[in-house]
Structures are given as C-alpha cells and as structure tokens.
Chains A and B, each alone.
Chain A
C-alpha cells in the first residue's frame, strides 16, 4: 500500500526519540461511509520509555497500535500524518514504507504482543518452527544460532526451552503462551514492543506474573513499550506516560502521576472516578453515563460534550486543541480544564477518593 501524501518530507528525530507519531488519521471505508477511527493523533516515544494508551473499547486505541506496524485491515487507510521511526541514525516514515522494507521493519524494529496471545500461534506447527520462521524472515539463517537465542530468551521469561520449543501451541497454558510470545517478540532485539491488552484473557495471578516479567525485561534490555489497555491499574504500574483516547483522538497526554492524581480532562477523570477503591488499586473501567459517539457522524464541537458533566455552550462550537495545563508536559483537549483542576486539585492522592470525599 504505497501511499502518497502531499505534505513535505518529515523532519529528523532527536537521538533519544525512537518513535514520533504526527497528526495521524486513519479511516475505515464502510457502506455507511468512512469511519474515522483515529483522528489527528500525535505523540512521541523516547528510548526505554513506556507509554500507556487507555480508553474504552472503540476509542481507536487498537487501530492506532496496529497501524504503527501498518497491520490494519485492507479497508483501513492512513489519510493523514506520519509515523516517524529512528533507526540508528536515520529517520524513516513507516507510513510510506514499501512492502519489503515494511516486512523488514516489522518485528526487527517493532514487535507486537497481541490481545489474543492464546491464538497468536499457528496451531499446526511447533513453537520452535515459529521461532525459526520469524528468524528466517529476517535473514537469520543459522538454525543453531536461532536455537541458542531462543533458549536464552525462553530462559529469561522463566520457561524451560527444551520443553517449550518442542511443544505445539495447544500443549501450553495461556500464561505460558503469553510468555513465549514475549520471548518471541524479543528475538530480533526490537527497539519497541507494542502490547495490545496483553493480559486480558489471563487469570489474576498470571496477569501479575506477566506484568512483573515485563517490568524486569524492560530494565534488563532497555526497549520502549507501548501498552494498550482498558485496565487502568496495569497501565499505572508499567507506564511512564499515558495517553487517554476518546472517539479516535487523544484527549489527554500526561505523565503517569499527573494523569492518575491530577487529570485535567473530564473523560480521564470519569475513567478514574468510576473505580473507587480505598486500597489505591484501580480496577477496570466502568462505564460512564452515555455511550461513545458514532465515528461516522461525530457530534459537532467537543466529541465528549454529549456525555460531559461540565459542558457549556461554547463546548459545542468547535473541537478544542490539546491545551497545555497547569502541570508541565501535560495537555488536555478541554476548554474547561480549569474547572476540572479546581475539583481534583493538585495533591498526590487517588482521584476517586478525593472526589468521593467531596461529594
């Protein structure tokens, strides 16, 4: 899918930046018309940093993640924007890579651990063959070398390489498969690993083990992570920075502390407030009154305004830009952020407790 875009050649990335998404928009074509799944999304990812993307299902977070390695279904098209990636000293635009460059880019630069790790392996070939397939696709032809690298990685994720490599996918448990997939994602030493709801189908104990494992691997190996989740507690544990997505666009961009203690967008606040827990552990997103907007016919003005408790007439006029708020490196797409700031305050405490006390 070679795409030609009118905009001029993108700039170079700085040395410690590994990925920069700029003004990315993605639309699906359907019979009813184009679905604007991702609209004008921009963010940066630094080397070794973990970025969490949170939001309800249908907010476009998975579409965004998948598009970073251009794995979107055929009906989805990047309509605008760039995905800049710094490969050693040069900057490439993933959005305009040709087929063979793209294939090379996938996994060796940016690997992905899927939501349904349970089904991420071909059921009819052994785990070893799937390692070998991946290595061969990227020019690692020496089977012995692949074998020792696979053994090393499986050791890192606390699995017995002898047993696992010989096994077929159905012989492994869900948690084991997820570990194998994480090991496989590290095979080619990528700089970025995208994790799309990596723990959704697992039980609580296994979830915990996977999160601890990811944290340890990140310290040992120093890759960057993009972590997609609707589970705020997991995001809180792993992330350095957080993006909140709503209706296909970023509504808030903040450090993990700012977002959890000092949200400035009513939607982020709603997400956090929906889970009051004294222990400080945050559970799943519970629904906020109303439902997400129709992505084919978006409401005019701020897309959150129909559900927003703080809505004023001005909100309906136009969609606001991302505005810098009262804490550094923190933006919210809301003209009423000051109102939210008054309610939530600045102290380091869980939002649900602060608001719970107020009401």
Chain B
C-alpha cells in the first residue's frame, strides 16, 4: 500500500500524524528512546525468564523436586500418595491436579503478590520471611565491599596509568593481576588461617554471625559498631576479590583516555592538571567501568555463596548453602529468584548512573544498541 505520488505520501503522513492514536504512539516512541525504558524492559524479561526457569526446574525436570519430595514423605511419614501430594501442593503453592500451564499461571500470580511458598524444612515459615531476614546482610556487605574496592581500584588504576612503568605502576598492576586471579573463597580461607589462626590478629570466632547476641538491635552506636565489626571479614574478602579487576580496568581505560585529543586540547588550553585529571581523564575513563559494575555485582553476589559459608556470615548465600544441603527446594528457588532480582536492580541502577554520567547515552539515546 505504498503511496504513489508526493501528494498521496503527504496525505498518508498527515493521517498518520493526526490520527487519535498518534499521541499514544509518540509517547511510546519517546519512551522507547529513553535508555531507561529499554533497561527496564530488559530487567523485566530477565526476571521473567529466571522465574520460568525456576518453575521448570522444580516442576518439569525428570526427578523433579516435587516428585522427590512426595516420595520422601511417603517413605518417612508412611502417608498415601494423595496425602503426600496434598502436603507438597501446600508447600509449593501448586495445585498438582491442574494442567501444567494453569499451575504456571498460578505460580506467577502468587509471585506477583510476593508469595514464594513455604520452606519445606522449617514448616510454617514463609520463604519471603526467611529471605527478608537474610538478604539485607548480603546486600550490605557486598555493597560496601564493592563500593570500597571500586573507589580504591579506580584511584590506584588512575595513578598507575599516570605513572606508567614506574615502580608504583609495576607493584600496583602485578598486585592487581595476582589479586584478581585468586578465587574469592581462597582469600576467605587465607584470611581466616593467616589473620585469625596464625597471627591471631582477628578474633575470627567472635566475628561470626551478623551481630553479637549480647548487643540489642536498634539504631544506636553500639549496635552499628557491632554490625560493622561482624561485617569486616566478608567486606574485606569482597574488597580483595574485586579491587584487582578495577585497578586493571581503570589503568587501561585511563591509558586509552590519555591518548584522546581532548586531553591534549585541554592541556593546550592551560587547564590545571587537577582539573584535567578529574573532569577530562578520570570522568571519561571511569565510564566503561560503570557499565561493568553490574556484571561484577553479579559475580560477587554469586561468590557470596562461598564466602558467607566459609565465614559463617548469615546472609542469603549461607542460607542458600543450607537449603541446598537440606534439599529445601522452595527456599532454594526463592533465594535464586531474589538474588537475580537484586543483581538486576543493581544493573538498573548502574544503567541510570551511566546515563547520568555520559550525555551521549542520556539524551539522544540509541547509542547503546
């Protein structure tokens, strides 16, 4: 139905432009041009996919969690299949008699209402309540560790690039590459063994848990100090595990930026070294790192699984370990879902920050395909 004459084309364009839907369409186009709208869509799709994967895992896989649970209950509690299945439906929030697609829709509906089912082991406790008790500690330690390592890493990387091939550069760069190749759980073990057992610098046993039982929770200094005391080890491990990556990335980004014409031009304009380093070199070099932040956050949250277990820090990673050990499938799936949501949200925040820092993305859109 292509327009044949210019007049036709104009008419068609006018009809398109002034139709009652035009406004909504323009709004949609405008929205789609916002990078944040695209990021939100991506986030939504990611969460949806993980949810579906979760459902498939417990329901569709051969030897799936529900069948395994029913068999176990029939054996241990000597129940009939029907009764065991009844029990299982209650726990998993699934009506096993319905066709699979209805079960799936019901599962999604419950999820939207924040209902993740009930823990299989601690019966009567909802998965949501377990997660809300443990997740904050993980977010707190991972967030603090990452922010510290990002700040320190960016600073050291920048300095190493400025003093390229100096002794400082060699120490920082090789240190960074060594640190980034040591698995985080090895770092955790080494900290316990060296700082705790061998040198006795840290009271490792006292540092277990998220706070000391003797200190009452509340918004007062003693409790906050106690929380920080208990968070030192995981934060230190996350810091050591990620700082090398930031150093190396920042160094190479800075070296590339220093070659840019606008840096030379800024020097030609007589700008002070401080201003050039912060607003011209630093700000541009840090951009690619911001976009890596989300992926790194994902790795660290994944690594929390090892770290919290080794350090006995009651975050979501430790809880996940326990739920796997005890085959608590409902809890497992809830935790995996929540971890995904956390990482996706971190991703979104990084996207927003990136758009703020880089006008090329924030305004015209389209630059990040």
Contacts and interface: CB of A to CB of B under 8 A. Distances in A.
A–B in direct contact per CB < 8 Å:
yes
B262 A123 contact: yes
B270 A168 contact: no
Contacts of B284: 122-124
Nearest to B280: A122
A260 to B, nearest CB: 30
A107 B264 contact: no
Nearest to A112: B268
Given A112-B268, A137-B271, A124 B364 contact: no
Q: Which of A103, A106, A120 has the most CB of B within 10 A?
A: A120
Contact of B261 (A103, A116, A124, A125): A116
A71 interface: yes
Nearest to B358: A124
A105 B367 CA distance: 38
A29 interface: no
A314 interface: no
A123 B269 CA distance: 16
Interface string A159-177: 0000000001011000000
A125 to B, nearest CB: 6
Q: Which of A69, A108, A123, A126 has the most CB of B within 10 A?
A: A123
A114 B264 contact: yes
A133 interface: yes
Contact of B270 (A114, A123, A124, A137): A137
A26 interface: no
A294 interface: no
Q: Which of B266, B268, B280 has the most CB of A within 10 A?
A: B268
A86 B271 CA distance: 22
B288 to A, nearest CB: 12
B279 A133 contact: yes
Nearest to B271: A137
Contact of A111 (B260, B261, B268, B358): B268
A348 interface: no
Contacts of A184: 269
A357 B214 CA distance: 105
B269 A168 contact: no
B272 to A, nearest CB: 6
Interface in A122-164: 122-126, 133-134, 137-138
A124 B283 contact: yes
B261 A114 contact: yes
Contacts of B29: none
A323 B360 CA distance: 55
Contact of A134 (B262, B264, B269, B358): B269
Contacts of B280: 122
A119 interface: yes
Given A116-B261, A123-B359, A133 B364 contact: no
A121 B284 CA distance: 12
Contacts of B360: 123-124, 168, 170
Contacts of A116: 261
A124 B360 CA distance: 7
A121 B264 contact: no
B275 A133 contact: yes
Given A120-B261, A122-B262, A171 B364 contact: yes
A114 B264 CA distance: 9
B255 to A, nearest CB: 13
Interface string A1-35: 00000000000000000000000000000000000
Contacts of A108: 270
Interface in B265-289: 265-272, 275, 279-280, 283-284, 287
B337 interface: no
Contacts of B275: 133, 137
Contacts of B357: 124
Interface string B96-127: 00000000000000000000000000000000
A107 B268 contact: yes
Contacts of A69: 268
Contacts of A106: 267-270
B322 interface: no
A104 interface: yes
Contacts of B25: none
A125 B262 CA distance: 11
Nearest to A69: B268
A116 B266 CA distance: 13
Contacts of B287: 124
Contacts of A71: 264, 267-268
B261 A107 contact: no
B23 interface: no
A111 B265 CA distance: 10
B270 A104 contact: yes
Given A114-B264, A124-B358, A171 B363 contact: yes
A105 B270 contact: yes
B266 A122 contact: yes
Q: Which of B266, B267, B270, B283 has the most CB of A within 10 A?
A: B270
Given A124-B284, A124-B359, A137 B264 contact: no
A150 B357 CA distance: 25
Contacts of A105: 270
A13 to B, nearest CB: 22
Interface in B228-273: 260-262, 264-272
Q: Which of B260, B271, B275, B279 has the most CB of A within 10 A?
A: B271
Contact of A137 (B260, B262, B272, B358): B272
B262 A170 contact: no
B369 to A, nearest CB: 16
A134 B261 contact: no
A119 B270 contact: no
Given A123-B262, A133-B275, A171-B364, 20 more contacts: A71-B267, A103-B272, A106-B267, A106-B268, A106-B269, A111-B268, A114-B261, A114-B264, A114-B268, A119-B261, A121-B262, A121-B265, A123-B359, A124-B359, A125-B279, A134-B270, A137-B275, A138-B270, A170-B364, A171-B363
28 contacts: A71-B264, A71-B267, A103-B270, A103-B272, A106-B269, A107-B269, A112-B265, A114-B264, A116-B261, A119-B261, A120-B262, A120-B265, A122-B262, A122-B283, A122-B284, A123-B262, A124-B283, A124-B358, A125-B283, A134-B269, A137-B270, A137-B271, A138-B270, A168-B360, A170-B359, A170-B360, A171-B363, A171-B364
Top-5 shortest CB links A-B: A119-B261, A106-B270, A120-B265, A168-B359, A107-B270
